[in-house]
Copies of this chain bind each other. A is one copy, B any other.
Amino acid sequence: MVSSSALAAVEPPPDGKAEATRARILDAAARALRARGYAGARLADIASEIGMKAGSLYYHFDSREALVEAVMARGLDYVHTTLERRLASLPADTPPPVRLEQAIETHLVGMLTQGDAASASIKLIWQVPPDVRARVLAGHRAYGALWKKLLRDARRAGAIRDDVDLSVVRMAILGALNWAVDWYRPERASPAAIARDISSMVLRGLEAE
């Protein structure tokens, strides 16, 4: 789900005041969602964090639900788009294991920098109303397909042994990376160092004998 509107969300056009305010609301909502969950993120909290009143949010969004969905879609799209661009920027003959390594670092850095919205999109997926969940899940599947291809290519190149389930591997990698948002502390280890440890563990662990 990397639509043109999604790309616009990743790099907001320098439009009018309304667009800027909309972006500030999305940021505040992402923080509230991550801290208090779907039902716990109150409109009054979101608004007060950026010096507004709850009622004013309805000028920018049709409903609380629409605001939440916008946050979740944007967070996932940021990570998705960033990874697609990173992979596209690699030389065409980049070996699949190196592409996988780059994907691990890109996903982790994306989660740790744009973590509020991105992790809301992932962690709250089972808490939101069914219709919102269905639309956000479509984006999750599209992003997952990108990872499936990375792993398939790596296996075809002989970098992943045959006795492991690629679906399990994919979910294990993403689980390890996604949880980092909850325990990451800048003063302990850099995102690059964390990515290096995880990708070296994963890549060496998947090698054939």
Contact = CB atoms under 8 A, between A and B. Distances in A.
Interface of A: 34-40, 123-124, 126-127, 163-165, 167-169, 171-180, 182-183, 188-189, 193-194, 197-198, 200-207
A189 B163 CA distance: 13
Contacts of A124: 37
Nearest to A40: B39
Given A172-B176, A189-B168, A202 B200 contact: no
Given A201-B201, A201-B206, 10 more contacts: A34-B126, A37-B39, A39-B40, A40-B127, A165-B193, A167-B188, A169-B201, A172-B198, A201-B202, A204-B205
Given A38-B37, A205-B204, A169 B182 contact: no
